[in-house]
Amino acid sequence: MKQIATSPGRRVEGSLVLLGGLLLMLAAAACGSSSGGAIVFTSDRDGNRELYSVDRGGGETNITNTPQDEYGPAVSPNGRWVAFLAVEGSDVTLEVMRADGTERQRLTPGPGRRSMPRWDPDSKRIAYVQELDGESNIYVVGVDGSEPMKLSSVPSVGVGNWSHDGESVVFAAEEGDQRGIYIRNPDGVNEFRLTDTSDTSPVWSPDSRMIAFLSKRNGGVDLFVMNADGTEPRQLTDNEASEYQISWSPDGRQVLFVSEMDGNPEVYAVDLESTLVRLTSNKIRDDEPVWSPDGRQIAFVSYGDADSEIFVMDADGAHQSRLTNNRYRDNAPSW
C-alpha cells in the first residue's frame, strides 16, 4: 500500500484575502467548533451500562439514569434523537429518546434481541437486526410508533446503512447459498442480491454510488469497495490481519477502519486508490472510530490505562485528546 504524502500548505496572497481569512478565523473562534454536537456513549460507571453525553469541553451528563442496562447509542442525522438498546430480562429492546434524555419510548414490542440500529437520512425510521427463535432478520420501524416491518427475506447477520435518498437499506447474509450482500427498499419490495461470497459489514458511500464491505473471498478479512449495483469490486487492503468497524468519511473520499496489521488494534483510513494512513499509533488498543458530522474530527475509544476512554482527534490523526477520564468502561461513541 502507498503511504499518504504530506503536501505543503498554500500561501495566501493579497491583503484582501489575508483580511478575509483573519475575519473567518475570528468568527470561527467566536462560534466554537463546527464538528457537531455532543458525543453520546455507553459507560458502566454507575454499576450498570448507561448512556452519557460529553461535549467538547469535557462536560458529561447521564441521559438515561435507570437501573437497567442501556447501550449501543445511535444519534439521528438531525442530532435531535438517540436510538439505543435496553435490556429487559432475556430480551433486548430498541428504544429512542430526545438527545437530552427526555421523551423516551420503546419501539419494539414483543420478545427478541435487537441490535445495530441504523437511522434513515430523514431521522424518521430505524433499521435494525432482530434475533428470535434462532433466526436473525432485518426490520424497519418508525419513530412515530408504527409497527415494525420485516425487511429481509433471508437470515441476515448485519444491517449496514441507508442510501442517501432513503430508498434502500443494505445488509448481509452469511448462511450457505444465501450468503452475500443485499439491498432492499425499506417498504419490503425490490430485493437485490449484489454478491454471493462471504461478505459482511456493507455501508453505502455518502452519495450512494459505492458500497464498502468486508470480505473473506481471498482468504483473510479485507476491505473492498464496489459499485452500488455490485459491479467492479476492488480490494483496498491486503494483509494477514482482519479489518473491521468500517465507515465512509462524510465527503466519500476515505474509508475508516480498525486493523491489527501493525500488531494491535489501531485506527486507519484508506482512499479509493489504496493509499493508507495510520491515524493512531500506540501499543494499546484503539478502536470504535466514528466521524464527526462534518468530517473534520473522529471520536474513538482507547485503552490507555486498562479501561476504555473516549478520545477525539482531527481527521488526519493530529491533536488527539481525551474526553473522559475514569476507572470504568466508556465506549460505543456516536456523534
Looking at every residue in the chain, the average pLDDT score rounds to 89
Concatenated DSSP letters of 278-315: E----SS-EEEEEE-TTSSEEEEEE-TTSS-EEEEEET
Range of the domain at 260: 236-335
pLDDT band at residue 36 under the 50/70/90 scheme: low
Structural domain contains residue 83:
yes
CATH code for position 251: 2.120.10.30
Distance (Å, whole) CA 248 – CA 256: 6
> pTM score, two decimals?
0.88
Please count the other Cβ atoms lying within 10 Å of the Cβ belonging to residue 207: 13
Structural domain contains residue 224:
no
Which helix (H) or strand (E) covers residue 215, if one does?
Answer: strand 210-215
Look at residue 19 in the predicted model and tell me its pLDDT: 35
Structural contact between residues 181 and 227, judged by C-beta atoms closer than 8 angstroms: no
Structural domain contains residue 231:
no
* Residue 66, all three cell numbers: 435507570
How does 268-295 read in b/e, with b if 16+ C-beta sit within 10 Å?
A: bbbeeeeebbebbeeeebbbbbbbbbeb
Structural domains counted in the chain: 2
- Mean pLDDT, range 180-201, rounded to an integer: 94
Last residue of a domain, one of 142, 161, 176: 142
For residue 162, with 0-12 CB atoms within 10 Å meaning exposed, 13-18 middle and 19 or more buried, which class applies? buried
Going by their DSSP bridges, the two strands 321-322 and 309-314 should be labelled as: antiparallel
> For the segment 45-74, what is each residue's pLDDT rounded down to a tens digit?
999 999 999 987 889 999 999 999 999 999
- Mean pLDDT, range 260-283, rounded to an integer: 95
Look at residue 196 in the predicted model and tell me its pLDDT: 95
Structural domain contains residue 251:
yes
Last residue of a domain, one of 92, 114, 142: 142
Structural domain contains residue 154:
no
Look at residue 46 in the predicted model and tell me its pLDDT: 94
